[in-house]
Amino acid sequence: MKINFSQILNPNQLDGTYNISTNSLILAGAGSGKTRVLVYKTAYLLEKNIPPEKILLITFTRKATQEIKERIHKLFPNAKISIETFHSLAYKNLNISKSNIKILHEENLFHNLSYNNRLLFFIRTPFQFYKTYKAYKIFQQYKKDNNYLGFQDLIEIFYRNLKSKKILLNYDYILVDEYQDTDIFQKDILKIISKNKNITVLGDDFQSIYKFRGAHVENIFNFPKEFSPCKTIFLNENYRSTPEILNFTNSFSKKNLFTQNPSGPLPKIFKFSTNKLEVLYILKEIKNILKNHPLTTFAILFRNFEYMREFLLISKIENLNLEINKNLFTFHGAKGLEWDYVFIPIFLQGVIPNKTYSKKDLDEELRLFYVACTRARKDLTITYPKSIYTYLGHFNTPSSFLKLIPSNLYKKEVLD
């Protein structure tokens, strides 16, 4: 099937698709058609008679892998391209399935171990094990005794085997999605298997939100230098949101995204005297939206699970549940998704940004807020109570991020 790429892609997307003679860094803003470029660049390579077995696509989730497989299959049903996550690529090439080794995510291993160990109980994430030598030794011994490998172990072993040439991979073209989420080992794996040629990475530095899992945002900044020669291409046209939502998110991200979508209402930032009134307002708004537009989509996004539980408790007491459980997400859980209406409650300092983050991590908290806001297609509502008490603390000051957003870009009200 011959594809008319110029009718399907905008000029910048086309530039990223056609550039196959050098390395490419495609900086793709939220909603700018990043996955489309990944799919059509693969299709372009196939049209240029590149053998499918010489092409490798790497994504970060099984869901993304499946979506890309389906989209490529529609264009080229018989093309057997390798579409993997970093972990599945490592697993297959290390032949783990033929051993009695068990693979568990570090977070599962962490919870299994820390539950019965006082030293480790208050370590927040598995990656903090590596900061404490005694904890690290306990963690390593636990895995050895139980024949476990964590996902990160899998990546590091795979890297060492590639570096020592015990494993040899032979791909001519490599395409990597969500490059901003790579860690140091994943970046070095790419350097080895690409041989520093014909590698295309796609990502958005302002959607790098997995530092706690080891992601290294500097990878995307340093790509042109580390994978030289490299062409950098910007995808700035947004296909998801209204101009009003884009103006709002551009203001604090310093992005330059634009859209040809129709105008909509200004984003709203509303203050309430109590958390209960805040929850009731959101639930009643959703009820009205669904009454008038039954097929519309919506989500309520929270910085972490604790505030989600508080929200559900109030909604249950007030008998206003609306079967909303499937529409509640954390900021991290919302990445890669989108809805017509997005609500972000508890916009208080200490919640957004999270009080557990240090000043040097404030940039990541802002990126996390950006990811949450850019999930909205038509309407964005941000709310906060005068104060809130939880076991995480007492919070009574509007988020410091509010100062980064010009007041003419949102509607502000105090509601009682």
**pLDDT by residue (tens digit) across 238-262?**
999 999 999 999 999 999 999 999 9
Residue 208, marked binder: no
Cβ-in-10-Å burial (0-12, 13-18, 19+) of 170 comes to: exposed
| Same domain assignment for residues 375 and 408 | yes
pLDDT digits (tens, 9 = 90+) for 153-191: 889 999 999 999 999 999 999 999 999 999 999 999 999
Residue 33, marked binder: yes
The total of structural domains in the chain comes to 3
| Same domain assignment for residues 181 and 284 | no
Residue 333, marked binder: no
pLDDT score at 136: 66
Q: In the numeric block, which tokens belong to residue 121?
A: 């109980």
Residue 35, marked binder: yes
Residue 14 covered by a domain: yes
| Same domain assignment for residues 231 and 247 | no
Residue 32, marked binder: yes
Residue 16, marked binder: no
| Same domain assignment for residues 260 and 364 | yes
| Same domain assignment for residues 178 and 132 | no
pLDDT score at 106: 58
Q: Which of 178, 186, 213 is nearest to 68 (CA)?
A: 178
Residue 372, marked binder: no
| Same domain assignment for residues 43 and 16 | yes
End-to-end CA, the chain: 60
Q: In the numeric block, which tokens belong to residue 75?
A: 């264009």
| Same domain assignment for residues 283 and 183 | no
- The domain boundary residue, chosen from 186, 216, 235: 235
- Structural domain boundaries enclosing 183: 5-94+164-235
Here the CATH number for the domain that contains residue 379 is: 3.40.50.300
Residue 90, marked binder: no
| Same domain assignment for residues 288 and 341 | yes
Q: Average pLDDT over the chain, rounded to whole?
A: 89
Residue 227 covered by a domain: yes
Sequence-ordered alpha helix ranges (H) in 204-328 = 218-226, 243-253, 275-292, 305-317
Query: Rounded distance, CA 359 to CA 363, Å?
Result: 8
Residue 11 covered by a domain: yes
| Same domain assignment for residues 256 and 404 | yes
Query: Rounded distance, CA 61 to CA 132, Å?
Result: 29
| Same domain assignment for residues 126 and 264 | no
Q: pLDDT grade, residue 121 (50/70/90)?
A: very low
Could you tell me if 333 and 308 are in contact, meaning their C-beta atoms sit under 8 angstroms apart?
no
Mean pLDDT, rounded, for 105-124: 53
| Same domain assignment for residues 120 and 263 | no
What are the residues whose beta carbons fall under 8 Å from the beta carbon of 256, sequence distance 6 or more?
Answer: 236, 250
CA 204 vs. chain centroid, Å, equals 10
User: H/E element holding 139?
Assistant: helix 133-146
Q: Please list the residues that pair with 82 across neighbouring strands.
A: 56
| Same domain assignment for residues 172 and 44 | yes
